[in-house]
Chain A
Amino acid sequence: MTARPAARGSEPPRVIEPSRRPDLVGLAKAGDNTAFELLLEPLITPGYRLALGLLHDHNAAEDAVQEAAVRAWRKIRNLREGAEMRPWFLGIVANQCRSTQRSRWWSVVKVPDLERRAGGGDEEVVQGADLRSALLKLSHADRLALVLFYYLDLPMDEVAAACGSSPAGVKKRIGRSVHRLRPSLQVEEGEG
């Protein structure tokens, strides 16, 4: 749908060739919100998946991503030279999710909702609910590392960047978390 005097809606799709890729981060830092929009677009789905993995609630995940987008725009000047946008933005999403979880609304209303939802009869649903329940029992930092690595399938260095940790440190954290989940997940020894 385009605006009444045809605006961007009638323009051809914006395709940026790698060889001619402008410095979108630089433009965004200078206040160009179109550049920021282009930077943000591929990060929305990973951001949503991360928020969903941390909060286990669709609506709260959507809200967290929008709040994170606003925070990212405010803080884009803090993005270090040469730093990757994706782990930086995912770190903001993670912080937003932690704030959401700390709120009274989340702890009082949403957790019982989750428990009630987990009471389905289908075996697969129950197994999924068991795993989700086990994930929710982890600390925020442990769950963040697990979700980034096992759900978003990010490489370890990006997981570390999003977690604000070293690759070695986050690898240990993931190992400990998987080990903690093993009893409920019936993970065999020597794997994971």
Chain B
Amino acid sequence: MNQNSFRRDVHRALDGLARPVPGLHSLSMAAVRAKDVAGVERGSRLGWLAGATALLLTLAVVGVFQLTNGALLGHTPAHPGVDSEIWVEDLTLTGDVSAHVTSTVANKGAVRSACTGKTSRAVGKYSLTLAFSTDHGVWQFDVLVDLYQGPGTYTIVGNPNSARALIVDPARTAGSHSGPDDTMVFTVDSTEEAGTVSATMSVPYLPATSTTPETINGAWSCRTSQ
């Protein structure tokens, strides 16, 4: 075995563990901005009391944000999270996963529903994860909106990287996400905990797999108090 074949073997062995990370840059920057919001980084002149308050805000924002992004961020052991209530949904899916979703399922293990909700403006991102049960098993639907500015309508205009929709099974072995040719309209109402979504996801989650474009339409909610 020469050096090149060893290099090839290392690539093969480690590439077998890799998965696509389409949102990792955005999420990393969201985490950076979330820390900045608190003003505890980069030599802030806040007094210790203000600093402590800001730190608490940071922990809350980052904690909620990371939980919300379960499918994209992965389960973070440092943030075990709390079980959410069951949220009422009215979503219709077509494609490989065809279903009418009326509620989320209870959080358990890697199956999680969460949203950044009212903390989104501080983070500058809106992130929604809904886990629901269908005849095809449990699936998770994720939306990530970059440049979130408050309640309103968000649509893809020329920059598909600024927002993503993803549907994936909890084991992340199948699914699809939005691509440059897909359409998506995501609305957030004044509560910032509900709205509507209409999205097409045509790009297979795992490379070299085929999938029928998935569509999702209807009303979503992550309201914890009905």
Question: Total A-B pairs in contact (CB under 8 Å)?
Answer: 170
Q: Is B45 an interface residue (CB 8 A)?
A: no
Q: Is B109 an interface residue (CB 8 A)?
A: no
Q: Is B74 an interface residue (CB 8 A)?
A: yes
Bound form: Cα–Cα A74–B97 in Å: 43
Can you list 21 A-B contacts with CB-CB less than 8 angstroms, sorted by A residue number? Answer: A1-B184, A2-B156, A2-B157, A13-B159, A31-B42, A44-B28, A52-B18, A57-B17, A60-B74, A67-B31, A70-B35, A73-B32, A73-B35, A73-B36, A73-B41, A124-B12, A132-B17, A135-B10, A135-B13, A150-B11, A185-B9
Residues of A near B9 (CB, < 8 A) are 127-128, 131, 185
Q: Is B208 an interface residue (CB 8 A)?
A: no
Smallest CB gap from B178: residue in A: A1
Select one of B24, B31, B184 contacting A48, CB under 8 A: B24
Smallest CB gap from B162: residue in A: A9
Bound form: Cα–Cα A153–B6 in Å: 12
Stretch at the interface among B100-108, B128-136, B142-150: B142-150
Q: Is A82 an interface residue (CB 8 A)?
A: no
Select one of B12, B31, B76 contacting A128, CB under 8 A: B12
Select one of B14, B27, B32, B162 contacting A132, CB under 8 A: B14
Given A1-B186, A8-B162, A33 and B148 contact (CB-CB distance below 8 Å): no
**Pair B152/A4 contact, Cβ less than 8 Å:** yes
Q: Is A56 an interface residue (CB 8 A)?
A: yes
- Distance (whole angstroms) from the CB of A14 to the closest CB of chain B: 11
Interface string of A40-62 (1 = CB under 8 A from B): 11001100110011001111101
**Pair A33/B32 contact, Cβ less than 8 Å:** yes
- Distance (whole angstroms) from the CB of B138 to the closest CB of chain A: 18
Residues of A near B7 (CB, < 8 A) are 150, 153
Residues of A near B157 (CB, < 8 A) are 1-2, 6, 9-10
Residues of B near A109 (CB, < 8 A) are 77
Q: How many residues of B contact A (CB 8 A)?
A: 54
Bound form: Cα–Cα A65–B25 in Å: 9
The majority secondary structure among interface residues of chain A is helix
The majority secondary structure among interface residues of chain B is mixed
Chain A residues close to B by CB (< 8 Å): 1-11, 13, 31, 33, 36-37, 40-41, 44-45, 48-49, 52-53, 56-60, 62-63, 65-67, 69-70, 73-74, 77, 103, 105, 109, 124-125, 127-129, 131-132, 135, 146-147, 150-151, 153, 178, 185-188, 191-192
- Distance (whole angstroms) from the CB of A52 to the closest CB of chain B: 6
Interface string of B1-37 (1 = CB under 8 A from A): 1110011011111101111010011011101110110
**Pair A1/B10 contact, Cβ less than 8 Å:** no
**Pair B156/A1 contact, Cβ less than 8 Å:** yes
Given A2-B155, A6-B157, A66 and B73 contact (CB-CB distance below 8 Å): yes
Residues of A near B27 (CB, < 8 A) are 66
Bound form: Cα–Cα A91–B162 in Å: 28
Given A74-B42, A186-B1, A36 and B32 contact (CB-CB distance below 8 Å): yes
Q: Is B160 an interface residue (CB 8 A)?
A: yes
**Pair A192/B1 contact, Cβ less than 8 Å:** yes
Residues of B near A128 (CB, < 8 A) are 9, 12-13, 16
Given A1-B157, A10-B159, A131-B9, A185 and B35 contact (CB-CB distance below 8 Å): no
**Pair B29/A40 contact, Cβ less than 8 Å:** yes
